[in-house]
Amino acid sequence: MTYIDDPQTQKANMDYIRSSMNEPLLEKEHELDLARRWRHKKDERALHELVKSYTRLVISVASRFRNYGLPMGDLIQEGNVGLMQAAERFDPEREIRFSTYATWWIRASIQDYVLRNWSIVRTGTTAAQKSLFFNYRRLRAKIERIAESEGLNDTHRAEIAKILNVKVKDVEAMESRLSGTDQSLNAHIGQDGEDEWQSLLSDERLNPEEIALHVVDSEARSKWLNNALRDLSDREQTIIRQRHLGQGVVTLEALGQELGVSKERVRQLEARAMEKLKISIEDQVGIGREMFFG
Question: What are the CA-CA distances from residue 165 to residues 135, 147, 157 (Å)?
Answer: 12, 22, 12
In a domain, 194, yes or no: no
Question: Which one is predicted more confidently, 289 or 146?
Answer: 146
Residue among 271, 194, 198, 283 at smallest CA distance from 240: 271
- Pair (104, 149) in one structural domain: no
Give mean pLDDT, residues 126-153.
Answer: 76
- Pair (91, 28) in one structural domain: yes
- Pair (94, 25) in one structural domain: yes
- Pair (106, 143) in one structural domain: no
CB 283 within 8 A of CB 267: no
- Pair (89, 15) in one structural domain: yes
- Pair (216, 135) in one structural domain: no
pLDDT beyond 90 at 48: yes
Residue 294: pLDDT band (50, 70, 90) is very low
- Pair (77, 6) in one structural domain: yes
Least confident among 96-100, 164-168, 290-294: 290-294
Give mean pLDDT, residues 114-136.
Answer: 71
Question: Which one is predicted more confidently, 121 or 84?
Answer: 84
In a domain, 44, yes or no: yes
Residue among 150, 83, 135, 145 at smallest CA distance from 110: 83
- Pair (168, 265) in one structural domain: no
In a domain, 192, yes or no: no
In a domain, 20, yes or no: yes
In a domain, 167, yes or no: yes
Residue where a domain terminates, one of 80, 97, 118:
118
In a domain, 203, yes or no: no
Give mean pLDDT, residues 32-46.
Answer: 93
- Pair (46, 89) in one structural domain: yes
- Pair (136, 88) in one structural domain: no
pTM: 0.53
Longest dimension (CA), the chain: 97
pLDDT beyond 90 at 98: yes
**How many other C-beta atoms lie within 10 A of the C-beta of residue 97?**
12
**Alpha-carbon torsion, ordered 60, 62, 64, 66, to 10 deg:** -130
Domain tally, the chain: 3
- Pair (27, 137) in one structural domain: no
- Pair (215, 283) in one structural domain: yes
Question: Which one is predicted more confidently, 97 or 153?
Answer: 97
Q: What are the tens digits of pLDDT across the range 227-258?
A: 888 888 888 888 888 888 877 778 888 888 88
Contacting residues for 106 by C-beta, under 8 A, at least 6 apart: 57, 58, 61, 62, 79, 82, 83, 86
Residue 79: pLDDT band (50, 70, 90) is very high
Quote the domain boundaries for residue 153: 124-180
In a domain, 190, yes or no: no
In a domain, 281, yes or no: yes
CB 59 within 8 A of CB 20: yes
Residue 282: pLDDT band (50, 70, 90) is confident
Residue where a domain terminates, one of 180, 196, 217:
180
Distance CA 78, CA 64 (A): 13
CATH of the domain at 244: 1.10.10.10
CATH of the domain at 36: 1.20.120.1810
